[in-house]
Structure formats: C-alpha cells, structure tokens
Amino acid sequence: MNAIELEPSPALQEEEPGNYLSESHTVASWLLTTDHKRIGILYLYSILFFFIIASFAAATMRLELLNPQGSLVLSETYNKLFTIHGVLMVWFFLIPSIPAVLGNFTIPMMIGARDVAFPRLNLLSWYIFIGGGLFALYSIVSGGVDTGWTFYTPFSSTYSNTHVIAMAAGVFVAGFSTIITGLNFMVTIHKMRAPGLTWFRLPLFIWSLYSTSLIMVLATPVLAITLALLSLERFWGIGIFDPKLGGDPVLFQHLFWFYSHPAVYIMILPGMGVISEIIPCFARKRIFGYYFVAFSSVAIAVLGFLVWGHHMFVSSQSVYAGLIFSLLSFIVSVPSAIKVFNWTATLYKGSISFETPMLYAFGFIGLFTIGGLTGLFLASLGADVHLHDTYFVIAHFHYIMVGGMVMAFMGGLHYWWPKITGRMYPEFMGKIAALVTFIGFNLTFFPQFLLGYLGMPRRYHTYPPEFQIFHILSTAGASILGVGYLLPLIYFIYSLRYGKKAGPNPWRATGLEWQTSSPPPKDNFLRTPVVKRAPYDYSPFEEEHPQNV
Amino acid sequence: MRLFPSEASSVAPEVDHLVLFLIGLSLIFIVLIFLPLVYFAFKYRRGTKADRTPPRLAQWKLEVTWSIIPLLLMMGVFAWGASLYFHIERPPADAFEINVVGKQWMWKVEHQEGVREINAIHVPVGRSVKLVMTSQDVIHSFFIPDFRIKQDVVPGKYTTEWFNAAKPGSYYLFCSQFCGTDHAKMIGRITVMEPPAYESWLASNSSGGTLAVAGAKLFTELGCSGCHGANSKVRAPKLEGIYGKPVPLEGSVFQIADDKYIRDCILQENHLHVAGFQPLMPTFKGHASEEELMELIAYIKSLGRTNPEEDVNLEGTK
Ligand SMILES: [Cu+2]
Ligand SMILES: [Cu+2]
C-alpha cells in the first residue's frame, strides 16, 4: 500500500546497516563531511547557538521593560540588545532554520537522491555561514551595534558610534551562504529527482523550499549591495544615503525592504511546507488542493518582490506609490489564505491523531492566521499611518515569524527527529511543551497588539507608565515561552540515549525519506527508489490493516 | 485600563471605524477557519466511528470560491484604507503652518508668529494645523497616537502632516523612528487649547517679530539682498511673488517654487538655474541652520502676499 515502491523488497532494513552517524566519530569526519545529513546537523548546532544568544537578549529586554523607567540596563545597552536580537534571529536563526537544517537533511531523501547536487558547495556554505557569524560575534563582543536590524541611514552610516561595519559584514557574508544554499537546492530539485518523481509528485515541502530558494537567490544579492553601499558611505564618506553628503536616506529603505520583504517569505514559506507534510500524515488524508498549495508558494515568492513599499507608507515616499504597494500587499495575502483553507479541508473525513508534530501544526495554523489577519491592518493605508513602528507591528511579525515559522520548525524537528536520530522523543513531554509554547506565545505577544494600538512606539527603552500593565503580561508570557523552548532541548538530548528505537517509519508516512532506515545510511538509499504514485497516498481506513513498511 | 487611545482629532474616529471594521472582518475569518478546524479535529479524531468515505467535493468550485471572496473583500478594504490615507496625507488648503525641526533627541517648534517651543506644541482646538517638518540629523518620526497620525521627519527634505484637534487637553507626542541613544526620550506634549486661551498664550509668549521678520533680517545678514535686492548691481531674479508659482528653469523646464525648491536654491551647488540668469549664486551650505532656512522661506513667502500688510522688507525695496 505504499505510495512509493522500492525495487527490492524492503526487508533490508532489519539488519541495521551502518548509518551516517555511526560511520565515523572523529571531529574531522564532521568538519570535512559533504554528507547533506551531517551538514544539516552542523547547521542545527550553529543556529541553536545563535538562537540562545538572541533569546538572552530578548529575555533581558523583557525584564527591562517590566519597569517604565527602565532600571536594568542603560539605553545604549538596550539599543544594542534589540539589534543583537533582531540581527541574530533573522539572519542567523530564522533564515537558515528550516531550509538549512531540515531542508538540508530531508530534500535529497524526499526526492530519492544520494545527496544534494553540489555536496562540497554545501559544506562551503556552512563555513561561510560560520564566517559571517564570527563577524557578527566580533561586532557584539567588541561593543555591539545600536542601529536595529534595519540599519536605517543616515543613522547607521554617519551618526552611530558603534561597530556597524563589522555587523554589516557579518550579514553580508552570511548572505552568500544563503545564496549558495538556495542555488544548491534549486539545482538538486531540478536534476536529482528519482525516476518517476515528476514535478507534481513532489512533496509540497519541496515546492515550498524551491520557492524559498528562488527568493534566496534573487533577493539576497540586493541586501549584499545595500550593505556594501552603507559601508562605503560610513567608511569613506561617499555620499549615497546621507543628505549632508548629497545622498538620499529613503533610497536605503527602498533597497533594504526590496530584500527584506521577500526575506519575510524566506522565513515563512518553509514553515508552510512543513505543515503541508505533517497535516496529511496525521490526518491520514491526501492533501486537499495539491496544485493550489504548490502554486500558492510560487505566487507568494513572485508577488513578494512587489510589495516592499508597504514598510514605507509614512516614510515620505509618494502617496501614489503607497497606493500600489497597499493594493499588492492585499493581493499577496490571498495565496496564504488559500493554503490555510486547504489545510483545513484536508482534515475533513480524515482519521486524525494528535501527536506532537500535529499539535505544532495546529498551533501554526492558529497563530499564522492571526498574524496574517493583523497584516491586513498594516497593509491598509489609513490604519498603517497610526500602527506603523508601534508594538502592533512587533506583535504582527512575531505571530508570523515565531508563531508561524518557529512553531513549524519545532513541528518539523519532532516529525523528522526519529529519522535524524533513529530515536523517538518522549511523546507526553512533547505534547506538554507544544502546549506550553502556545500559551506562552500568546501571552507574550497578544498584549502587544493592544499596546501598539494605544501608541507605544517600538524600540523604546523607557515608556509612559500607563503602558506598564501590558508589558508585565508580555514578560510573564515570555517566561512561559522560555520554558516551552527549554523542555524540548532537555528531552531531545535525553532521547538520544534513552528514546525508544524509532524504526524506519514510525508515523507510517508516505514520503521517500521514510522508506529507508533511521538513521539513514550514508547514501540514503541502498538502491535508488522508483516512484509510481502521487504523494500523500494516505487512507483514513488503513488503521485496520496497518502498513508494514 | 484603557484599550483604545482617545479620539482627539478629526481623523481619529475615521481610523477607528476602519480598524473596528477590520477587527470584525478578522473575527469572521477566525470563526470561518477555526470552527471547521476544531469540528473536524473532534469529529474525525482517530478511533471514532465517523463516516470517512472519501468525500466527493467539487474541488475547483471550492478553490475558486475561497480565493475570489477574500480577494473581493481585500479590494474593498484596500479602497477604504486608501481613501482615508489620502485624507490623512493631504492638508486642507486653509490649514495654518507650524514649523518643526527634529534633532537627536528633541523637537524644536516654531510658530509663524515667532513663538518657539521645545518638545511641546500649543494649538487651538477645531482649526486645521499643518506641520512643515525636517530633521537636522537622522530620520525621526512625528507621532501623536491620540490623533492617529504619524509622519517621518527626514533630513534634506520637508515633510508635512496635518490635524484638526477635536478636544482640548494634553496629548503625547512620540518619536517613532529609531534615532539613536535617547530615542525613547524624544517625547513631547501637544496641548490643545480653546481659541481665546490659545491667542493669549501666543501673545504672552511671542518675544519679538514673526518668522518672516527674522527671515528678512537673515536675508540682509547673509548677503542675499546684495544680489536679490532692488538696488543690486548683480543680475539676479526678483523673489517677490515667486512662492508657489512655476519658475522657468534652464532647458525649458518649470518647477513650482515651494519650500523644497527654495531650500535647494540656497543649499545646493548644482541645482538647475533660473532661465536667463548666470549661475552666480553661491551655496549657503553650512551657513544657515534648518530653523534659519525655514525663516528665509517664510520671508520669501511673505514677499508674495498681494496684500502687503506684513511687508517686512527691511530695505524698503518695495
Ligand atoms: Cu513586508
Ligand atoms: Cu527617535
């Protein structure tokens, strides 16, 4: 009853062949590996490291904001904290999270390949990423940067006295790692698919990562150019953005958002892809509207390039430009809505179970929907004038980035954990953590919508006392959210040793990655699989005669 | 605990209506999405006896329905938001002007009557006020939550923002664009007064001449009058009456002589020159502060008035 049939009978799994982890244990075997699975794990450790630093920055800010006068840190420090938080979370955690960790690990297996198209380039991409990270860390350790992750000029280019160039260099360098990864994924998806795996037999996760890669390759160079121009002005005083030198400060914003709005989709499309894998599996249903879900990813990737000006409605750009950017921003919301409707329709007449990945998927739909709907408030010109640069914006994008992408990342990590490690995580603890994360998240960020509408501007280290109650709620939520992230860290480590053996396919999933042992052998498959059917060949009845993969 | 800021300007209720509509629309979508989600999750949870025969849904029809209906709704919301935006962005013709200069980390305010304030603005209730704003360093943003208005204040150009205050009282004024160390301290107060109280406040605070008078003084001090004055030997264009009119420039282009145009004439070395004149005018970059530039503009503007009751030309060239 498999969607995919291996040429030889799958009895081969029983004798536990050597796997990609047991193959060699030396440090060099990790640092010089070209195995996409090991590189995925290298990325996992690296982004975890940056996530922890960025979370500490956030925690310190939340503590600081308990008090309207701000007694914990100086304003200089506060400004550096939110810059560290933003830069590290965006470029060193979110952007590589699902693509470079889960994508690296699963793409070749999901398409029945032995590795990505350019394995050595893949390793190079990780080294470049670490190189960028070192620049960023240097800039933090040597005193920090106070521009915010948006680096607006002429503050960043002329007025700030902090280590802007080092930080910009970090982001610049890390960008090349993104470009290379995107390129590698695109070529891999084009060229390395197993026999019979046509485009419309691809899992939707692949479609979403393909669209993401498109954005990575096309948008990231613009960021590199922008940061290079910023550094030119800062270092040599070449007038580009500072009006005192004959430049135009709003030009910077156009360039920055021309990259950064598409980058928002780098930070959500992969999450949508993960959800499209989890829901059919735990609902035992074929995905509803495969073509619509697939093409909505592509539509988002393309339209995402045309809406950057919605970050600039009050920047002094022309009101007519504002009109067009607002119109296109409303239009780009439709493909996202289509996905949500199709996921919901997939559940209809399914056979639904609620293991941890599915709980995260439900959490994703809930939080992403709220994030998306509040995006309409910001796309609406008349309302955005009031809401822009307030906590409303902060709440909105955290609902998308954390409520969406991080929930999906956690869901995906739980879903593929058995494949990655060969062990199950403790299910009960998993469910508790998913629930705690959901509650903590809402308590942290929902009050910020109210705070924003009341007029609390973002990036304020001190604030009028009437806003305090909302900040207290938010900080309380953040503490709960912290527990929600700490729990998986503990039980994942625990499961490496004590988790029960997963077997090749604990979820009875249909993807190719589940048709090989867990953890997979170095070359993924002992023989190249041949695909004969469409993906998600699930049936709600199969529990009566369970699959014997 | 307040959940809504007070509606202290003429546009505030309009923005709130739009936002309340958006909240209503969001709630409808939330019900439409979450209700089936929860219902399916419950009804079709594994182990229950539910009818699971593969549904025969008209997939195309469903997809088209749930794409088109949101799209149409979006277009409606877009149109509403856009028309409100044009209302918020475009000052009415009868608005009176107040100048604002942002700098790290304070707001400097100049009334046409010559009154100067820092981190505070006094305005009368029920009259349209247009702020003409610029920054002398980085980008700031002038945000009055109770008025629902915000506009970035950008160095090198003038941006405008207008309001018509609806209720007397004192309201927060925030800088909402991150501008450096003390961004969070760039807070002021806007005081809305009944017109008589406002008049007496103006009278008791004005220390001397109007902005145009200050501008006239600068016009001589900086040597502008040496070329632009009536008795000058240099062939330079007369500035009387140019404000707001199209000026013929080299290469038969026309440009409206607005604030930004005059500012560029004074500061930029390579601006387009007025047709028929030699490019003799030196740049005054670094010699005039943002406030002084605004005063010069106020003066040149006053030269255009047809009824010269406030003819403040010190040289008596008229
Ligand atoms: Cu955007
Ligand atoms: Cu500021």
Distance from CA of A79 to the nearest CA of B (A): 7
User: Closest chain A residue to B147 measured between Cα atoms?
Assistant: A386
Average pLDDT over residues A353-359: 96
pLDDT of residue A527: 87
Domain B1-46+91-208 sits in CATH at 2.60.40.420
Q: B16-31, pLDDT tens digit by residue? A: 999 999 999 999 999 9
Is A493 exposed, middle or buried (CB count within 10 Å of its CB: 0-12, 13-18, 19+)? Answer: exposed
Give dist(CA A513, CA A494) in Å, integer. 24
State the pLDDT confidence band at B308, using cuts at 50, 70 and 90: very low
State the pLDDT confidence band at B305, using cuts at 50, 70 and 90: low
CB–CB contact B81 A383 (8 Å): yes
Distance from CA of B167 to the nearest CA of A (A): 18
Residue B236, both tokens: 């330079």
Query: Is the minimum CB–CB distance between A313 and chain B shorter than 8 Å?
Result: yes
Ligand of minimum distance to the alpha carbon of B105: 2
Residue A83 lies in a domain: yes
Q: A124-138, pLDDT tens digit by residue? A: 999 999 999 999 999
- Determine the distance separating the centroid of ligand 2 and the alpha carbon of B88, expressed in angstroms: 22
Give dist(CA A262, CA A95) in Å, integer. 11
Give dist(CA A101, CA A185) in Å, integer. 12
Average pLDDT over residues A325-345: 95
Give dist(CA B145, CA A392) in Å, integer. 13
Distance from CA of A67 to the nearest CA of B (A): 14
Of B100, B89, B98, B103, give the one whose Cα is nearest residue B139: B103
- Look over chain A and give the mean of its residue pLDDT values, rounded to a whole number: 93
User: Helix, strand or coil for residue A17?
Assistant: coil
Q: Looking at beta carbons, which residues of chain B come within 8 Å of A323?
A: 82, 85
∠ CA B10-B15-B18, nearest 5°, is 140
Residue from B11, B171, B175, B177 whose CB has the most chain A CBs within 10 Å, to mutate? B177
Average pLDDT over residues A422-447: 96
In which domain, by residue range, is A149 found? 32-548
Query: Looking at per-residue confidence, does A2 or A467 come out higher?
Result: A467
Distance from CA of B283 to the nearest CA of A (A): 13
Query: Is the minimum CB–CB distance between A327 and chain B shorter than 8 Å?
Result: yes
Task: Compute CA distances B43 → A37, B29, B145, whole Å.
Answer: 39, 21, 46
- Determine the distance separating the centroid of ligand 1 and the alpha carbon of A50, expressed in angstroms: 24
Domain segments of chain B as ranges: 1-46+91-208, 211-305
pLDDT of residue A364: 97
Tell me the pairing of strands B116-118 and B149-153: unpaired
DSSP-derived secondary structure for A140-168: HHTT---STTTT-TTIIIII--S-HHHHH
Question: Cβ of B90: how many Cβ atoms within 10 Å?
Answer: 11
Residue A347 has its nearest CB partner, among B40, B148, B181, at B40
Q: B52-89, pLDDT tens digit by residue? A: 887 777 888 999 999 999 999 999 999 999 999 999 99
CB A122 within 8 A of CB A101: no
Residue A331 has its nearest CB partner, among B74, B104, B176, at B74
CB–CB contact A389 B150 (8 Å): yes
Q: Which of residues 377-436 of A touch B (CB under 8 A)?
A: 377, 379-386, 388-390
Ligand of minimum distance to the alpha carbon of B102: 2
Indicate if the pLDDT at residue B194 is higher than 50. yes
Number of domains in chain A: 1
Average pLDDT over residues A388-396: 97
Residue from B9, B78, B186 whose CB has the most chain A CBs within 10 Å, to mutate? B78
Q: A11-40, pLDDT tens digit by residue? A: 444 445 688 998 888 999 999 999 999 999
pLDDT of residue A71: 82
Average pLDDT over residues A325-344: 95
pLDDT of residue B306: 52
Give dist(CA B190, CA B161) in Å, integer. 14
Residues near A4 by Cβ (< 8 Å), separated by ≥ 6?
A: A510, A512, A515, A529, A530, A531, A532, A533
Give dist(CA B180, CA A68) in Å, integer. 19
State the pLDDT confidence band at B285, using cuts at 50, 70 and 90: confident
Helices B12-43 & A356-379, crossing angle to 10 degrees?
A: 160
State the pLDDT confidence band at A1, using cuts at 50, 70 and 90: very low
| Residue that the structure tokens 């409605």 belong to | A313
Residue A23 lies in a domain: no
Q: Please determine whether the domains at B1-46+91-208 and B211-305 fall in the same fold group of CATH.
A: no
Q: Looking at beta carbons, which residues of chain B come within 8 Å of A351?
A: 44, 46, 52
Q: Poorest-confidence range of A278-282, A365-369, B269-273, B314-318?
A: B314-318
Is A348 exposed, middle or buried (CB count within 10 Å of its CB: 0-12, 13-18, 19+)? Answer: middle
Q: Looking at beta carbons, which residues of chain A come within 8 Å of B162?
A: none
Ligand of minimum distance to the alpha carbon of A401: 1
Residue A26 lies in a domain: no
Indicate if the pLDDT at residue A61 is higher than 60. yes
Ligand of minimum distance to the alpha carbon of B178: 2
CB–CB contact A331 B19 (8 Å): no
The 8-class DSSP code of residue B80 comes to H
Indicate if the pLDDT at residue A415 is higher than 50. yes
List beta partners, residue B165.
B9
CB–CB contact A315 B80 (8 Å): no
CB–CB contact A338 B66 (8 Å): yes
Q: The domain that contains A86 carries what CATH number?
A: 1.20.210.10
Give dist(CA B147, CA B236) in Å, integer. 45
Q: Would you say how long chain B is, in residues?
A: 318
Question: Cβ of B25: how many Cβ atoms within 10 Å?
Answer: 18
Residue A1 lies in a domain: no
CB–CB contact B25 A249 (8 Å): no
Domain B211-305 sits in CATH at 1.10.760.10
ipTM, two decimals, is 0.91
Ligand of minimum distance to the alpha carbon of A389: 2
- Counting DSSP H helices and E strands in chain A, the numbers are 18, 2
pLDDT of residue B243: 87
Distance from CA of A373 to the nearest CA of B (A): 6
Task: State the pTM of this model.
Answer: 0.92
How many CB contacts within 8 angstroms connect chain A with chain B?
A: 255
pLDDT of residue A7: 45
Q: Would you say how long chain A is, in residues?
A: 549
Residue A22 lies in a domain: no
Give dist(CA B129, CA B56) in Å, integer. 62
- Determine the distance separating the centroid of ligand 1 and the alpha carbon of A47, expressed in angstroms: 24
Average pLDDT over residues A365-374: 96
Distance from CA of A41 to the nearest CA of B (A): 34
CB B284 within 8 A of CB B306: no
Q: B228-282, pLDDT tens digit by residue? A: 887 777 788 888 888 888 888 887 888 888 888 899 888 887 777 888 888 888 8
Distance from CA of A233 to the nearest CA of B (A): 15
